[in-house]
Amino acid sequence: RAKKDKREPIQIFHAEMDEGLNFRRTMRQGLEEALSGNQLDLHLQPVVDARNGTLTSAEALLRWTHPLLGPISPAKLIALAEESGQIVAVDDWVLERALQHIKQLGDVPVAINISPVQFRRRDFARKIVDRLEAHGVSPGQLRLEITEGVLVTHTRAAGRAIAELREAGIKIALDDFGTGYSSLSYLKDFGFDFLKIDRGFIRALDDGRQGAELLRAIVDLGHSLSMRVIAEGVETAEQAGAVQLFGCDYIQGYFTGRPMPIDQFQDWQANAAVRELHSLAPHK
């Protein structure tokens, strides 16, 4: 074989790698600036009571608007930050902002998403409790969402942290349920307060009977293990109706409210209160 044939792919490989590294370096720097500037925001999405639409809590979702690239998806942001080690700073930012939101909202509990890497830190639970105290926020006002993956990759650390957090009065939700692992035994090993059914199962409702039966089974499973069940990604009135029929406790989705900046969230809240008052008025 000619030397040239061997060398060429290597050069291409190097060129692509450089580009990838440059890009990541640029993004890392961008995130650094985002953290110290005002490019990050924490939006709030309503979680409502499935029976009557009353607001019960909110999920905080991270938003990054890059000055040149525009909005960067939180999933990408988190992946980038995990790789670069900036995740601790990002999570700290989210926690502080969430605590400020909680104080501004009054009595609406707010849930934040927790990165799996947090469970590598022994002081994780302690730190959350300390920040609550520093802000004078009661533990019942903050909730944490974790995904199934954490329970497999960080089993013991996660178990310890979850127990400690619940002991302190912080409620924990298992997020994106049904997308991760087939073993269900962990559901009873860790005590979760909430089960969030992944929106894939809600979408499957549109395909007819089997989707409905699956959803019903998951709701029953959650209830039998003493969890409150939240349906994620409810987009239509039909889906909301089905979810309600199957006994889901809470609804979260575009149908009831999108993730919004806190000002807009408070407007939404005020309008919801007006809607409720109207529904209490006698119907003619």
Q: Which does 235 bind (CB under 5 to 8 A by kind): Mg ion, ligand C2E, none?
A: ligand C2E
User: Is residue 175 at the binding interface for Mg ion, with CB under 5 A as the rule?
Assistant: yes
**222: how many CB neighbours lie within 10 A of its CB?**
24
Give the shortest CB-157-to-ligand C2E separation in angstroms. 16
In the complex with Mg ion, the residue whose CB is nearer, 28 or 258, is 258
Give the shortest CB-17-to-ligand C2E separation in angstroms. 27
User: Is residue 145 at the binding interface for Mg ion, with CB under 5 A as the rule?
Assistant: yes
From the list 27-35, 68-76, 120-128, 131-139, the region that binds ligand C2E by CB under 6 A is 68-76
In the complex with Mg ion, the residue whose CB is nearer, 145 or 246, is 145
| Residues touching ligand C2E, count (CB under 6 A) | 22
Q: What are phi and psi of 184, to 5 degrees?
A: -100, 0
User: Is residue 111 at the binding interface for ligand C2E, with CB under 6 A as the rule?
Assistant: no
Give the shortest CB-145-to-ligand C2E separation in angstroms. 6
Give the shortest CB-126-to-Mg ion separation in angstroms. 23
Question: Alpha-carbon distance 263 to 28, whole Å?
Answer: 29
Helix (H, G, I), strand (E, B) or coil at 65: strand
User: Is residue 195 at the binding interface for ligand C2E, with CB under 6 A as the rule?
Assistant: no
Give the shortest CB-148-to-ligand C2E separation in angstroms. 12
User: Is residue 148 at the binding interface for Mg ion, with CB under 5 A as the rule?
Assistant: no
Q: Which does 174 bind (CB under 5 to 8 A by kind): ligand C2E, Mg ion, none?
A: none
DSSP string, 155-206: HHHHHHHHHHHHHTT-EEEEEEETSS-S--THHHHS--SEEEE-HHHHHGGG
Q: Which does 233 bind (CB under 5 to 8 A by kind): Mg ion, ligand C2E, none?
A: ligand C2E
Contact predicate 143/110, CB 8 Å: yes
Question: Alpha-carbon distance 256 to 268, whole Å?
Answer: 10
Indicate the DSSP class of residue 154: T
Contact predicate 232/253, CB 8 Å: yes
Report the run of H or E that residue 55 belongs to, with start and end.
strand 55-66
According to CB under 6 A, which one of 78, 110, 144, 173 is a site residue for ligand C2E? 78
Interface with Mg ion in residues 85-124 (CB under 5 A): 113
According to CB under 6 A, which one of 28, 35, 49, 74 is a site residue for ligand C2E? 74
DSSP string, 234-262: --SHHHHHHHHHTT-SEEESTTT---B-H
Indicate the DSSP class of residue 207: G
Question: Alpha-carbon distance 242 to 246, whole Å?
Answer: 6
According to CB under 6 A, which one of 57, 115, 141, 244 is a site residue for ligand C2E? 115
Contact predicate 35/89, CB 8 Å: yes
Interface with ligand C2E in residues 142-171 (CB under 6 A): 145
Chain positions contacting Mg ion, by CB under 5 A? 113, 145, 175-176, 232
Chain positions contacting ligand C2E, by CB under 6 A? 45, 61-62, 73-75, 78, 94, 112-115, 145, 175-176, 199, 233-235, 253-254, 259
